[in-house]
Amino acid sequence: MKQTRRQFISAATAGTAGLFLTSMDSPRYVVPKAGFDLKIYATKWGFNGTMDEFCKQAKKEGYDGIEDWFPNNTADEEALYEALDKYNLRFGALTGSGGNTFKAHQESYTKNLLKVIAKKPDFINCHTGKDFFSFKESKQLIEFAIQESKVSGVPVYQETHRGRMLFAPHICEHFIDELSELKLTLDISHWCVVAESLLDNQKEAVAKALKRTSHIHSRIGHEEGPQVPEPRAPEWQRAVNAHFAWWDKIVNLKKEAGKPLTMTTEFGPANYMWTMPYTKQPLVDQWAINVYMMQEWRKRYL
């Protein structure tokens, strides 16, 4: 019987899931000290339904909470909190800055961050600044966030994202050395693309970043892109192993220190997700991959 493309992919991934689990080294076991906690959040990026539908599905799969851009209108904000309460989910907020100049970014970031801080989410993950801003300019944005986080008690993290101020490990290292209170959302898949490598020759800078990480986006990138098409496929084993090795170190650091850690499964839709030419049909199911990553994290770290 002739198989459809989707049936072929489903069968292939089912057959390689066991290979993935047995070939990936287990992390060094660390007895967690009191205070360690791991909460896993679902990304709304790529979900086309309502907030209620999204939260219902996230709860059904076993997520602790959701991560999404904070709403920009009252109706959406009300829908967000109604769904969070209804399904007993936690909330991590995304915010950032925009504009064509540093001044515009500074003004928008001030407005956006203060608005979200007032709502007291679990944490705030920031897409801040641009990669072409000077060190002095970017430092001002980070220092503002650090100060507001200390005053409010709301954790504020800066994401390692292409196009933003922490777009590469050697750049991020300068900020880490200069700012002792900088805390990161580590999406290291971006750094793999920027460096066109799995960062084997930047181990010192990466190690510094791992120690400053408080939140993780668990997408797996590779040397030529920010997202492998299918993390269960054996041809991507090397990239998968590299990312889990970084995450192992972060989790163990938190366990040893007795500190909490949050993670969002963040495999994205097209054009992060690979698609068929012309039809633009996704090669795999984004939601299913993120649920798979959530389950792998629970088995590996909890």
Nearest to 127 by CA among 176, 169, 68, 63: 68
How many Å apart are CA 185 and CA 268, to the nearest integer? 17
pLDDT score recorded for residue 23: 52
Q: Quick one: tokens of 261? A: 């850690």
pTM, rounded to two decimals:
0.92
Strand partners, 165: none
pLDDT digits (tens, 9 = 90+) for 186-221: 999 999 999 999 999 999 999 999 999 999 999 999
Nearest to 122 by CA among 149, 151, 91: 91
Q: Quick one: tokens of 8? A: 């072929």
pLDDT digits (tens, 9 = 90+) for 16-59: 444 444 457 788 889 999 999 999 999 999 999 999 999 999 99
The distance between the two most distant Cα atoms of the chain, rounded to a whole number of Å, is: 65
Going by their DSSP bridges, the two strands 90-96 and 124-127 should be labelled as parallel
In the predicted structure, residue 2 carries a pLDDT above the cut 70 = no
Q: What's the sign of the alpha-carbon dihedral 213, 187, 222, 235?
A: positive
pLDDT score recorded for residue 302: 93
pLDDT digits (tens, 9 = 90+) for 92-140: 999 999 999 999 999 999 999 999 999 999 999 999 999 999 999 999 9
How many Å apart are CA 240 and CA 186, to the nearest integer? 16
Q: How far is CA 201 from the centre of its chain?
A: 23
How many Å apart are CA 106 and CA 166, to the nearest integer? 16
Nearest to 186 by CA among 204, 154, 208: 208
pLDDT score recorded for residue 29: 86
